[in-house]
Amino acid sequence: GENVEQHPSTLSVQEGDSAVIKCTYSDSASNYFPWYKQELGKGPQLIIDIRSNVGEKKDQRIAVTLNKTAKHFSLHITETQPEDSAVYFCAASAGGTSYGKLTFGQGTILTVHP
Amino acid sequence: EAQVTQNPRYLITVTGKKLTVTCSQNMNHEYMSWYRQDPGLGLRQIYYSMNVEVTDKGDVPEGYKVSRKEKRNFPLILESPSPNQTSLYFCASSLSGFGNSPLHFGNGTRLTVT
């Protein structure tokens, strides 16, 4: 089955700096890669996603890049703010017989210091 | 308001005492899923359901049961809880189950089994 590895497990930055979180996946059939943000005491919320026919997607201060050949994708947050502090999860959806399964990475705790 | 509602938010129980965590969504979503979140392990899928009366195992189904008798409800049943099932549980739903529809998560149920 699909295996998703996420790094780093913790990331500490100063307000205004950029933050990058990286994920690798194992199943070359995976075609959908969402990122979720989990704030304290809440469930994860989708912040951005990318499909396998696209190499990069941007939404204001957040961008995601995908390298299908290397089987890795990354989340980039620019001009970080204290409210970006949260746990971030990447995920990958495998096609074929794994329809319905979304495999998550281990999570990254991002702390933005004012 | 569109939401996924889990109950209870907190639950402390003893080994072997059957319990049910309820999950309900009001978005007419076909797909529902249960995850457990443990430090360093991310979100792992327990069971999922593509539609009414259709359920399937995720990555860590041992010790759990589910049912999907109605579209809106997807309860998680622990017939004989054990301490290794102490975890934070999330229910989620999405429009379709093909891994490329955004997942909407509940706010979680923190379960402690002593």
Terminal-to-terminal C-alpha distance of chain A: 41
Contact, A21 vs A108, CB < 8 A?
A: yes
Residues in chain B within 8 Å Cβ distance of A42 = 107-108
Number of residues assigned to chain B: 114
Q: Within 10 Å of residue A49's Cβ, how many Cβ atoms?
A: 19
Give CA–CA dist A86/B68, Å, rounded. Answer: 32
Per-residue model confidence as pLDDT tens digits over B30-44: 999 999 999 989 999
Please determine, for residue B99, whether its predicted confidence score (pLDDT) is greater than 70. no
- pLDDT, tens only, A67-107: 999 999 999 999 999 999 999 999 998 765 556 678 899 99
User: How does strand B87-94 pair with strand B104-105?
Assistant: antiparallel
Q: What is the pLDDT, as a whole number, of residue A98?
A: 57
Q: Kindly report the CA angle at A39 between A35 and A44, in degrees rounded to 5?
A: 40
pLDDT of residue A29: 85
B56 and chain A: CB distance < 8 Å anywhere? Answer: yes
Q: What percent of chain A has pLDDT over 90?
A: 79
More confident residue, A98 or B96: B96
Contact A29, A9 (CB under 8 A): no
Q: pLDDT (tens digit, 9 = 90+) per residue, A51-71?
A: 887 789 999 999 999 999 999
Residue of B nearest to A37 (CA): B105
Task: Read off the tokens for B15.
Answer: 């080994």
Q: Which of A21, A24, A102 has the highest number of chain B CBs within 10 A, making it the mutation to test binding with B?
A: A102
Cβ pairs bridging A and B (under 8 Å): 73
pLDDT score recorded for residue A96: 56
Residue A1: its pLDDT value, please?
77
CB contact B59 to A (< 8 Å): yes
